[in-house]
Amino acid sequence: MSELIDNAQKRRDALKELIQRYHDGEDPQKARHDLVELLGEVPYGEVVSVEQELLASGTEREKILSLCDVHADAVKQGKQAAEPDVPAGHPVDTFYKENRAIEFEMNMIGLLARELESLDETDDASERLGKIRTHVHSLMDVDKHYARKENLLFSFLEKHGITGPSNVMWAKDDEYRALLKQAVEKLASLKAATVGAVRAVVDLSVQPALSGLRDMITREDNILWPMALEQLEEAEWIQVDRQSLEYGFCLYDPTDVWEPAEAAAGDAPEAETGRIQLPSGSLSPVELNAMLNSIPFDLTFVDKDDTVRYFTQGKERIFARSRAIIGRKVQLCHPPSSVHIVEQILEDFKSGKEDHAPFWIQMGGKFIHIEYYALRDKAGDYLGTLEVSQDLSNKRALEGEQRLLKYGEN
C-alpha cells in the first residue's frame, strides 16, 4: 500500500473503503489486517478527519469506536513513543509523566497477580488482596487525567476543527472509567480472600480495566500528544496549564513550573471562572474567605511597606481587630512600649537575617501563642509579615488519645 502514502485523499478513500469492508463482515480477518497495515501508515490527523467525515455522514459512533480499537492495534505494532520534546512542567510533559505513574501502579498489580499464579487456590491471599486493592484504588486517580484531557485539551482541539478525539476517545475514557469502577467494587465485595477467589476477580474484572488503561496510554503517547503539540499554539497551552489546577493531577505532582516564552495577555482563567489560581489548586473568593475564617487561629498580614492589608474574621478572635486598621502602618497598631520589638522583627525579616519569631503569653487564664513569619517570593525577596495567634489552652490540656468520632471536642 506504499503507493498511497503520497496522496492524502487516496489514503482517506482507501481508509473509508477498508472500514466499510471491516464493518460489512466481508472477509473480516483480511479486512482487519489491511486496516491495521494502512492505519500504521496514515497520519493520525487524517484518521481523525475520516472519523469526523464518517460521523457527519451518519455512521454509528459504535463503529467508529471499533475503528479506534483497530488503530490502537496498529500503533502497538509500531515503535514505542518517544518522550515528548517539551520543557519540564509543560502540560504534555505532565500528561506523559502521569502515564508513567499509571503504568507503575498497573505493573505492581501485574506482579501481585503473577505471585498468585504460583500459589495453591485454597491458600490465604489476604495480604496480596489488600495490596491489589490499594493499587487499583490509586488508579481511580486517572479520572483527573482524563478530565483535564477532555475538558481542556479536547476543547482547544475543537477550536482547530478537530472533533474526533472528543467524539471517540472521550467515549473510550468513559468505558475504561466504568471498568475500573467495576474492578474496585468487585474487589471490595470479595468476602473469601483465598487465592482462587482473588485470582478470579483479578482475571475477570481487574485485568480488563488494566487493558483499557494501557490502550488509552498507547493512544495518548503515540497519537494525541503529538497531534496536540502540532495543532495548539503556545497561548493555548498557557491556558491549559493554568486551568489544569482546577482538575488536579494523577498520581504525579509536577515539580517543575513551565515558564513559556510568550506571555498570553488577557487569558488568565481568573477572568473567566472567578477562581484564584494557586500552584497547588484554585479557590473562589467565597471559598477562600470561608476557609481562612474557619481555621482555629488569627492571621494578620502586613505588606513589605509595613502596611496592614488583611486579617481573618473568625468567630472568636484572640486580639480585637477592626477594619479601620486596614491601610495603617503596623507600628501605629501597637502600644509605644512594644513598637521597638515590632521594628526589630521587621528589620530582621527585611534584611534576611531571620524568618520566624515566636512568643507565648498568659492572658486571662489562657495560654496564647504568637508567631511572626517572613513571607518571601521564589527569589527570596521580602513580601511582608504574617502574624499567627492561637489559643493553645485546650490543646495543652489534652491527654491520652481520641480515636473515636466526637463532635465539638477541643
Check pLDDT > 90 for residue 42. no
Ranked by mean pLDDT, which of 20-34, 180-194, 256-270 comes out on top? Answer: 180-194
Residue range 85-96: mean pLDDT, rounded: 94
The residues pairing with 389 across neighbouring beta strands, listed in sequence order, are: 298, 370
Task: Give the rounded percent of residues in the chain with a pLDDT score beyond 90.
Answer: 50
Check pLDDT > 80 for residue 409. no
Ranked by mean pLDDT, which of 22-26, 272-276, 353-357 comes out on top? Answer: 353-357
Q: Lowest mean pLDDT: which of 66-70, 116-120, 145-149?
A: 66-70
Is residue 25 classed exposed, middle or buried when 0-12, 13-18 and 19+ CB atoms within 10 A define those classes? exposed
Nearest-angstrom CA–CA distance, 302 and 208: 56
* Pairing relationship of beta strands 308-311 and 356-363 according to DSSP bridges: unpaired
Check pLDDT > 70 for residue 41. no
Report the 10 Å Cβ neighbour count for 171.
14
Check pLDDT > 90 for residue 324. no
Amino acid at 362: Q
**pLDDT digit string, tens, across residues 223-237:** 899 999 999 999 999
Check pLDDT > 70 for residue 7. no
CA angle 381/382/385 to nearest 5° reads 155
- Residue extents of the structural domains in the chain: 2-77, 91-273, 288-395
Check pLDDT > 80 for residue 284. yes
Check pLDDT > 50 for residue 117. yes
Check pLDDT > 80 for residue 281. no
Residue range 77-101: mean pLDDT, rounded: 84
Query: What integer pLDDT is reported at residue 161 of this predicted model?
Result: 87
Backbone angles phi, psi at 393, to 5 degrees: -55, -50
Residue range 69-91: mean pLDDT, rounded: 70
**pLDDT averaged over every residue in the chain:** 83
Check pLDDT > 50 for residue 100. yes
Query: What integer pLDDT is reported at residue 1 of this predicted model?
Result: 39
CA angle 398/403/408 to nearest 5° reads 60
Q: Quickly tell me which residue has 480488563 as its cell.
A: 208
Helix %, strand %, coil % of the chain (to 5): 60, 10, 30
> Which three-class secondary structure state does DSSP give residue 372?
strand
194's grid cell: 483465598
The length of the chain is: 410
Instruction: Place domain 91-273 in its CATH homologous superfamily.
Output: nmb1532 protein domain like (1.20.120.520)
Query: What integer pLDDT is reported at residue 322 of this predicted model?
Result: 78
In this prediction the pTM is 0.65
The CATH number for 288-395, chosen from 3.20.20.70, 1.10.10.10, 3.40.50.970, 3.30.450.20, is 3.30.450.20
